[in-house]
Amino acid sequence: MKLFSFPNPVNEKAARVVAGVVLLEVVLILATGFYWLLIPLAYGFWARVLTGPTLSPLGWLAQRAIAPLLGPSKPVPGPPKRFAQGMGAFMSTLALVLAFAGAGGAADIVLLLLLPAAALESVFGYCVGCRIFAFLMRLGVIPRTVCEECADLSWRFAVR
């Protein structure tokens, strides 16, 4: 496995565990104003988007230790999850830059946008970034070749 790769498919339960920890971290930052916590938050997103769980302690722990304890998981396509991690990397980095530039209120607004995305993924398994990815695929912004499984929706509507 190459260092700069991302798993495909992704363990849905591991993704939800990561989102749950992100949710807790964002709530903690908003509640306390401990903007220094944006450093590990942003690092985690960048580590996951660039290497999957390889260089992300949280990603590694979620995939290797916690998710297996939660029972069987359905695999989900990796490219949309990587896109969602990229959105998190952008937003957490933006919040970090804003906070350390003295614009804590603006950083809080960015974190408030990240909050429901993390909550929806962790609690309901609804990935906002994945929905945006699918929308961009339908528009042709993201080529079908990036995620063939995402482009072919027939399996989702098959009668079982």
49 within 8 A of 90, measured Cβ to Cβ: no
12 within 8 A of 74, measured Cβ to Cβ: yes
Of 29, 46, 47, nearest to 38 by C-alpha is 29
CA dist., res. 150 & res. 145, Å (int): 9
pLDDT at 157: 47
pTM: 0.89
Domain residue spans in the chain? Answer: 10-127
pLDDT at 159: 52
pLDDT at 153: 55
pLDDT at 160: 46
28 within 8 A of 37, measured Cβ to Cβ: yes
pLDDT at 7: 86
pLDDT, tens digit only, all 160 positions of the chain: 588 888 899 999 999 999 999 999 999 999 999 999 999 999 999 999 999 999 999 999 999 999 999 999 889 999 999 999 999 999 999 999 999 999 999 999 999 999 999 999 999 999 999 999 999 999 999 998 898 888 665 545 455 4
Core vs surface per residue 16-45: b (16+ CB within 10 A) or e: bbbbbbbbebbeebeeeeebebbeebbbbb
